[in-house]
């Protein structure tokens, strides 16, 4: 199974390692044709302003919009911002798919980076906390009715799901656990074989 990683800018390699370790094939997506035959797409952390600019330059914006509506996608940090319905601090364009409002750098600047235990809600598959790394992380200030919260930190939503779309404020690729990536790959498998 091939799973894409948006590779315009940002932390691509750690996600590719996790996807490979879990038995899928990562495909680096930089042009529209790279989306062909993918089971899903991961949008990694990085700098959203640069990603938006490069997506426009590479003719990737409209194909991305279509892809994330039809197939499983997972936005991490900056990727969450790209998928969100609304972005603040400052406002910016997004794919508008995930029913959340996010505040850019809502958890603080680079020097405020931290590691925190993500607590599962009843919607998550088990009761074990999951470690999350927060680096200039976006804060979900609103979660709409169409999205369900899977994990929280200090009672704030940090990992959400809406259909086959996932969004995380933190970086699961920078921890030992593969649970989050495995969960995403299962969504891709289900959609791929469905």
**Catalytic pick among 103, 173, 181, 188:** 173
DSSP 37: T
For 142, other C-beta atoms within 10 Å of its C-beta total 15
Q: Please indicate whether residue 193 is annotated as part of the active site.
A: no
Strand, helix or coil for residue 64: helix
CB 72 within 8 A of CB 26: no
* Total residues found in the chain within this entry: 194
CB crowding 15-27: b at 16 or more within 10 Å, else e: bbebbeeeebebb
Among candidates 179, 162, 176, 187, which has minimal Cα distance to 80? 162
Dihedral of alpha carbons 184, 157, 100, 14, sign: negative
Annotation marks residue 171 as catalytic: yes
- Contact between 48 and 82 (Cβ < 8 Å): yes
Cβ atoms 43, 83 nearer than 8 A: yes
State both tokens at 135. 């680096």
Residue from 164, 171, 181, 188 carrying the catalytic annotation: 171
Choosing from 77, 103, 164, 188, the catalytic residue is 77
Active site residue 192: no
Residues catalogued as catalytic: 77, 171, 173
């Amino acid at each position: 199974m091939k799973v894409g990683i948006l590779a315009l800018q940002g932390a691509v390699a750690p996600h590719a390692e996790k996807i490979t370790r879990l038995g899928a094939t990562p495909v680096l997506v930089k042009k529209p044709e790279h989306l062909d035959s993918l089971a899903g797409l991961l949008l990694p952390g990085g700098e959203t302003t640069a990603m938006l600019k490069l997506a426009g330059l590479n003719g990737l914006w409209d194909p991305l919009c279509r892809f994330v509506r039809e197939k499983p996608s997972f936005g991490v940090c900056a990727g969450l911002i790209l998928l969100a319905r609304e972005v603040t601090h400052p406002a910016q364009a997004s794919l508008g798919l995930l029913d959340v409002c996010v505040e850019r750098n809502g958890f603080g600047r680079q020097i405020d980076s931290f590691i925190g235990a993500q607590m599962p809600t009843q919607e998550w598959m088990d009761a074990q906390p999951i470690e999350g790394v927060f680096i200039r992380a976006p804060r979900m200030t609103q979660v709409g009715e169409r999205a369900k919260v899977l994990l929280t930190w200090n009672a704030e939503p940090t990992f959400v799901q809406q259909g086959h779309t996932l969004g995380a404020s933190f970086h699961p690729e920078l921890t030992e656990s593969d649970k989050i990536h495995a969960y995403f790959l299962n969504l891709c498998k289900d959609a791929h074989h469905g």
